[in-house]
């Protein structure tokens, strides 16, 4: 019986894991080198979208053909620090292998149970806490340049329909009735009902963590330098022990898991956001700008534009080009938009070659459960992934087949 647990990482997945375990009567210590909700966390800077329809893998069969030109196009949402390329190759090779039609179908089937009830999972976790005030529900849109662009995206929308999602086309007149400030450059859209978003992802994570602490959970600030099957060692030498250890440190999980024999093939996708404080116009719902591959989300105090993929590792400095691109693109969407000031942010998405998270006990350290690798959908699946990790720690059987997320699948 699990009586005590240590959770490494106080981002969305770690906080959710800790809270689910606490509610099950486990004495939990949550560990991170920074406070929950801190701007240095990836959970702080995401698009805030609870993306139920995010079931397509990053590895798309067309990407192999498009990627070289995208990397050379300054208006493309894909960036690479070229000095990092040699370190990226061990990840790229299996990434390409996952571009087959068969693998894409398998990965999509594995992502669906993680995302489809994500709004309900967030509401279940946040109800009764101050975090609930940051959840909004409604439609999520894809904006297209025209009907032809929508038709070109038929494979994606057909995939969503087969998975049970609703896709509602909107012409220009219908778009203007909902979003009257939209540029004439965008004349077609698709609405996806029953979605959600967060008006402040950082405050949301912090509020969940505050509830966890107020209800008896412990938060310990420190940097984890070593993990064994029974212990966690912090910088400075303090050693903590527990019945179960859950590793949910996002992009920083890989080196710690490697100490325990796991080959995680975890890579860092650097994501950027531009937050427009005091934006003169805020849309009533979040949307994806389909041709630019970034999400626009109405949030507390302004408008967040989030997206971009840059491969460059954990230590390279922030690039200026991605932020410049976001500024250019948001003006194409809302030509008359003004704002008081802009905040720029970069964070690290933990991504695997097959777009699936690692979830499960490590074969060589069965008391250590990993829960990381959520790529672009970390905030979306945080409560679901946390519940799954908690259930594994408690010895409960999952109603989801965990095989696709096995921690040893890259051995």
In the 8-state DSSP scheme, what is residue 267?
E
CATH number of domain containing 12? 3.50.50.60
pLDDT of residue 69: 79
Q: Is the same domain home to 18 and 151?
A: no
Q: Is the same domain home to 338 and 232?
A: no
Q: Is the same domain home to 296 and 308?
A: yes
In a domain, 123, yes or no: no
Q: Is the same domain home to 253 and 341?
A: no
Q: Is the same domain home to 207 and 163?
A: no
Q: Is the same domain home to 61 and 142?
A: yes
Tokens of 89: 């190759």
Cβ–Cβ under 8 Å, residues 114 and 54: no
Query: Quick check: helix, strand or coil at residue 18?
Result: helix
- Boundary (domain end) residue, out of 351, 367, 392: 351
Cα 370 from Cα 331, distance rounded (Å)? 41
Q: Is the same domain home to 259 and 272?
A: no
Domain region containing 279: 56-100+135-193+266-351
Q: Is the same domain home to 261 and 271?
A: no
Cα 160 from Cα 150, distance rounded (Å)? 14
In a domain, 210, yes or no: yes
pLDDT of residue 61: 67
In a domain, 122, yes or no: no
Q: Is the same domain home to 219 and 317?
A: no
pLDDT of residue 71: 79
Q: Is the same domain home to 188 and 173?
A: yes
pLDDT less than 70: residues of the chain: 61, 64
The pLDDT tens digits of the residues spanning 342-394 come to 999 999 999 999 999 999 999 999 999 999 999 999 999 999 999 999 999 99
Question: What total of structural domains would you count in the chain?
Answer: 2
In a domain, 179, yes or no: yes
pLDDT of residue 59: 73
Cβ–Cβ under 8 Å, residues 349 and 271: yes
Query: Quick check: helix, strand or coil at residue 36?
Result: coil
- Boundary (domain end) residue, out of 351, 366, 389: 351
In a domain, 347, yes or no: yes
Task: Say how far residue 68 (Cα) sits from the centre of its chain.
Answer: 25
pLDDT of residue 292: 94
pLDDT of residue 167: 98
In a domain, 239, yes or no: yes
Q: Is the same domain home to 346 and 365?
A: no
The pLDDT tens digits of the residues spanning 40-71 come to 999 999 999 999 999 999 877 677 677 777 77
The pLDDT tens digits of the residues spanning 233-257 come to 999 999 999 999 999 999 999 999 9
Check residue 250 and give left, alpha or beta (phi > 0: left; psi -120 to 50: alpha). Answer: left
DSSP labels for 361-401?
EETTEEEEEEEE--GGGHHHHHHHHHHHHHHHHHTPPPSS-
Cβ–Cβ under 8 Å, residues 350 and 14: no
In a domain, 381, yes or no: yes
Q: Is the same domain home to 186 and 239?
A: no
pTM for this predicted structure: 0.96
Alpha helices in 127-236 (DSSP H): 147-152, 154-162, 172-178, 201-214
Cα 221 from Cα 223, distance rounded (Å)? 7
């Amino acid at each position: 019986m699990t009586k005590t647990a240590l959770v490494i990482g106080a981002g969305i997945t770690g906080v959710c894991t800790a809270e689910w375990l606490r509610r099950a009567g486990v004495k939990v210590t949550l560990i991170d080198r920074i406070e929950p909700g801190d701007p240095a966390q990836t959970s702080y800077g995401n698009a805030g979208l609870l993306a139920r329809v995010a079931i397509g893998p990053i590895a798309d069969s067309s990407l192999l053909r498009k990627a070289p030109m995208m990397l050379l196009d300054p208006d493309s949402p894909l960036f690479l620090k070229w000095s990092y390329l040699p370190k990226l190759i061990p990840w790229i090779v299996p990434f390409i292998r996952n571009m087959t039609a068969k693998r894409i179908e398998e990965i999509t089937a594995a992502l669906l149970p993680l995302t489809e009830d994500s709004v309900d999972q967030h509401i279940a976790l946040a109800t009764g806490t101050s975090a609930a005030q940051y959840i909004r529900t409604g439609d999520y849109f894809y904006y297209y340049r025209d009907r032809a662009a929508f038709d070109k995206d038929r494979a994606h929308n057909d995939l969503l329909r087969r998975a049970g999602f609703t896709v509602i086309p909107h012409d220009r007149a219908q778009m203007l009735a909902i979003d009257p400030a939209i540029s004439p450059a965008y004349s077609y859209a698709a609405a996806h009902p029953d979605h959600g978003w967060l008006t402040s992802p950082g405050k949301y994570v912090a509020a969940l963590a505050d509830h966890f602490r107020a209800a008896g959970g412990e938060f310990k600030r420190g940097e984890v330098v070593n993990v064994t099957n029974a212990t966690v060692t912090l910088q400075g030498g303090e050693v903590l022990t527990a019945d179960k250890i859950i590793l949910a440190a996002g992009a920083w999980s890989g080196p710690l898991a490697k100490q325990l024999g796991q080959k995680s093939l975890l890579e860092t996708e650097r994501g950027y956001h531009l937050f427009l404080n005091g934006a003169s116009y805020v849309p009533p719902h979040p949307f994806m700008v389909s041709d630019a591959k970034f999400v626009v989300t109405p949030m507390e105090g302004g408008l967040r534009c989030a997206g971009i993929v840059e491969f460059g590792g954990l230590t390279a400095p922030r690039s200026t080009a991605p932020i410049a691109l976001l500024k250019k693109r948001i003006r194409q969407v809302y030509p008359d938009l003004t704002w008081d000031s802009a905040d720029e942010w970069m964070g690290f998405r933990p991504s695997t070659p097959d777009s699936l998270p690692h979830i499960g006990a490590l074969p060589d350290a069965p008391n250590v459960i990993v829960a990381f690798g959520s790529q672009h959908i970390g905030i979306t699946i945080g409560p679901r992934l946390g519940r799954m990790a908690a259930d594994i720690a408690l010895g409960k059987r999952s109603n989801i087949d965990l095989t696709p997320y096995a921690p040893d699948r890259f051995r």
